[in-house]
Structure 1
């Protein structure tokens, strides 16, 4: 497959009839390709989506996601399809390349009318913090007067962004390990891996494969490979990357920064990388108090966003103004209420142990609401690290016993309540909140940071957080 194929009549298979698959099918059909969408499912919702595409002239095959149609020249896959799917095995045997939606978008970029070059990508990945960091970055770029958008797994579709009638100056791009796996040609202007912790190992097969796919984001970087000073695995990925000559390694962390790094000094955010004579000078780019909320892991998100923005050439004032203007999405360490000097915080987005650990580190003492679907995770390291902060724990969900066992081993004196056994939805969350209130004391934080997925009790983490907030409001009233 050439870098820029002749799409007219090209037989292309789109794997998956989700949002990204529908977007890819529409784009490819518009380019003149002969498109067939395949999906192993066959329900009413899928049939409705299929009918819309078929009305455009796109072929759709439901109930069979394994058979490679004859004459296929390219597969464009949705991110969730695992590499060992039978369709891809057949494609490999037939010599048919597989791209993701990000790869397709990268190849379809158009020159900006003013620069003659496509809009550069500032790319973000990591186990946790991607969305917040990308949104912070977009806020900073907007404050600098650039036409930009947060794209990828957040905000605007990456395909829509590269094909927009009014071109963007620069894009802040959130990329998952799934997307990076299927994006061999991606070469960002600058990129960051925020952190690495075990996640999606059932998809990747091993931690080594997961890390390798995350590390793809550094390949071909032009200006800066940004890494987390507190996470040596991210620096190792930088060392392994094949980058353009002159591209620099830039670290970020919560301490005073060494040369070429970003850090914090006396409550100020400091850049010692993109300044003249950085051996002697530094630039103040904001303050911890400019960040909402100023939890430690959110400060590191802000430093990572600032490093990418500065690599792109944004001035210090725009970094500060962009961070001040930023407001996080719901369910990310969001304070719901303060009742009787007890703070109630919704971090339902903390769906794995790494995210929950960062959230727990921001508060003390804590009544911790945890549990749900563990997704193969273990909890000993998380509980051992947080034990000294815990006032109590309220455990919920299918895999609560795994967390209880870790608490018994590492925090045996912490009182534990198991709540909402066999219940789901609002009724369950009301019981959970009552249980947490019985443990909390003035000065405590009740923290919903489940370290687990939500689908055993709730539709998604958003519903879990919404029902938590509603139950807290009822408690207040």
Structure 2
């Protein structure tokens, strides 16, 4: 009797990945390389191991922290963890074969050698946010709705305000993403969240493919991260991904046409609305400001002739600058799209406490005010800080990310008493100062080398603060608003800001003063 050949339909890697849209899907044996062992990469690797995937983690660092993270991942079941510069130059095998998937941490550039190798091999690349979106359903129940927030500046403030408004409405809500808490960690917490306020960077959006938030906003755009995205156009294209597949409301900045064009070009869910925010009087389908009140003409039935009061400018604190008002309006539009009542918007703004490192008063000593704005990682953010003060000793510089400084310096040259330059290479900023503020004294701070991955950031900042103190006079503000990223000399903008705060307090202590924060 002749034998019969049985053909089995074995799904391709692409077909299998397409089926992975919940925690309950079959992740077992999936071969995954995780790029990066920082906060996002660790959370992705730990989650995938829990799901039963075969995981190899790679990272260019060999720091003590990276080695400790690697030891933990090996204990919980990682197939391997490869550290050091050589580890990131090629695509490793998993279970003796090329991976089915690469999950990358957001900081890894698309042209990085290992990611480029994966691209050439037609291997799918997801970010940790894409992975989190696919895992949002567990035991048949969706973990939380998403409200997505991005923009060049103001993301963290807006996501914090949105979180506060949602919580004031009685919802179980948390700010996640680029704000500090990885979305994967929130999904795995034993808490039944109603909604996530999700802060996403352009890096995270670049590696996200299938997100479908309830509402989304691009707060603003300005030249930033050009080195990572390859061009300003590439940066804008990745920011615009925030609007794709939005379900109810695409919120945009009425005072910046680029964000409106993003909404016009977005492929959204049928019935999704375009809603603008403005710091001026709002038209229909906008939120804005009238007679010192934040008002809504978008989410009320009688919006053609009326507006609903959301809050007052006083609820934002004394003399809130325009960009803070804009952030509050954007947050209000998002939560209103989600169904939050006006009274909860007001309570949320009253309860909101701004985080550290964003135009944060640190001390007032000898008539000099010291302000920490380490969060100003690009010229657009630094401009908002500089415009808030009259006479400034400016501590600036760092990793420039390929941006230009001419407009920032030319517009603020009259405010500058002196400039203290930090950063391994602040030549672009120095050149702009020479062109547009030639009479302003500039004092470069040499890096303090340690033999480790980064120079001694604390020592650099202590020198910068000491120099600033020498040149600040009564009535001046010493403003640390670097207009650059921090990673050349610090672990993060928070590390840089904390170093500034510590140096200022140490300076006051040596002078025998108690700084008035």
Residue correspondence of structure 1 range 258-277 to structure 2 within 5 A: 258-277=283-302
CA contact (8 A) 1:228 1:234 kept: yes
Which stretch shifts more, 20-29 or 422-431?
Answer: 422-431
Cα–Cα, structure 1 residues 41 and 442, in superposed 2: closer, same or farther, change >3 Å?
closer
1:227-261 superposed Cα distances (whole Å, 9 cap, x missing partner):
12222211111111011122111112221212211
Residue 49 (str. 1) matches residue 49 (str. 2): no
Q: Which residue of 1 aligns with 2:105?
A: 78
Which stretch shifts more, 244-253 or 382-391?
Answer: 382-391
Q: Which residue of 2 aligns with 1:286?
A: 311
CA contact (8 A) 1:149 1:155 kept: no
Within 2, Cα distance between the matches of 1:318 and 1:434? 45
Within 2, Cα distance between the matches of 1:179 and 1:287? 34
- State which of 128, 131, 136 in structure 2 corresponds to 1:101: 128
Which stretch shifts more, 465-474 or 159-168?
Answer: 465-474
Q: Which has the larger radius of gyration?
A: 2
Cα–Cα, structure 1 residues 271 and 385, in superposed 2: closer, same or farther, change >3 Å?
farther
Q: Which residue of 2 aligns with 1:131?
A: 156
- State which of 236, 240, 245 in structure 2 corresponds to 1:220: 245
Within 2, Cα distance between the matches of 1:203 and 1:97? 20
Within 2, Cα distance between the matches of 1:434 and 1:39? 36
Q: Which residue of 1 aligns with 2:4?
A: none
1:243-290 superposed Cα distances (whole Å, 9 cap, x missing partner):
112211111222121221122223222222112221211122112222
Q: Which residue of 2 aligns with 1:17?
A: 37
CA positional deviation for 1:454: 3.7
CA positional deviation for 1:212: 1.0
Q: Which residue of 1 aligns with 2:87?
A: 64
Q: Which residue of 1 aligns with 2:332?
A: 306
Cα–Cα, structure 1 residues 56 and 466, in superposed 2: closer, same or farther, change >3 Å?
closer
Cα–Cα, structure 1 residues 289 and 337, in superposed 2: closer, same or farther, change >3 Å?
farther
- State which of 261, 274, 291 in structure 2 corresponds to 1:236: 261
Q: Which residue of 1 aligns with 2:7?
A: none
Q: Which residue of 1 aligns with 2:6?
A: none
CA contact (8 A) 2:417 2:441 kept: no
Q: SS at 1:24's partner residue?
A: helix
CA contact (8 A) 1:41 1:64 kept: no
Q: SS at 1:149's partner residue?
A: strand
Q: SS at 2:18's partner residue?
A: coil
Cα–Cα, structure 1 residues 418 and 235, in superposed 2: closer, same or farther, change >3 Å?
same
Q: SS at 1:273's partner residue?
A: coil
CA positional deviation for 1:71: 4.8
Q: SS at 2:309's partner residue?
A: strand
- State which of 278, 281, 285 in structure 2 corresponds to 1:256: 281
Cα–Cα, structure 1 residues 143 and 374, in superposed 2: closer, same or farther, change >3 Å?
same
CA contact (8 A) 1:225 1:247 kept: yes
CA positional deviation for 1:154: 2.1
1:33-72 superposed Cα distances (whole Å, 9 cap, x missing partner):
2222233445554343323222233211414332242152
Cα–Cα, structure 1 residues 460 and 101, in superposed 2: closer, same or farther, change >3 Å?
closer
CA positional deviation for 1:190: 0.5
Cα–Cα, structure 1 residues 435 and 185, in superposed 2: closer, same or farther, change >3 Å?
same
CA contact (8 A) 2:74 2:81 kept: no
Q: Which residue of 1 aligns with 2:183?
A: 158
Which stretch shifts more, 289-298 or 158-167?
Answer: 289-298
CA positional deviation for 1:347: 0.6
CA positional deviation for 1:85: 3.2
CA contact (8 A) 1:271 1:282 kept: yes
Residue correspondence of structure 1 range 45-444 to structure 2 within 5 A: 45-62=65-82, 63-65=86-88, 66-69=90-93, 70-110=97-137, 117-292=142-317, 294-339=320-365, 341-413=367-439, 415-418=440-443, 420-421=445-446, 425=457, 428-437=460-469, 439-440=471-472, 442-444=474-476
Q: Which residue of 2 aligns with 1:26?
A: 46
CA contact (8 A) 1:112 1:167 kept: no
Within 2, Cα distance between the matches of 1:227 and 1:410? 33
Within 2, Cα distance between the matches of 1:93 and 1:207? 25
Residue 2 (str. 1) matches residue 18 (str. 2): yes
RMSD (Å), alpha carbons:
2.6
- State which of 501, 513, 517 in structure 2 corresponds to 1:469: 501
Show structure 1 runs of 5+ residues with no match: none
Cα–Cα, structure 1 residues 316 and 443, in superposed 2: closer, same or farther, change >3 Å?
farther
Cα–Cα, structure 1 residues 43 and 435, in superposed 2: closer, same or farther, change >3 Å?
closer
Q: TM-score, normalised by structure 2?
A: 0.84
Within 2, Cα distance between the matches of 1:391 and 1:8? 62
Show structure 2 runs of 5+ residues with no match: 1-16, 449-455
CA contact (8 A) 1:419 1:431 kept: no
1:159-218 superposed Cα distances (whole Å, 9 cap, x missing partner):
122233321001100111121111111111100111112222222212111111111110
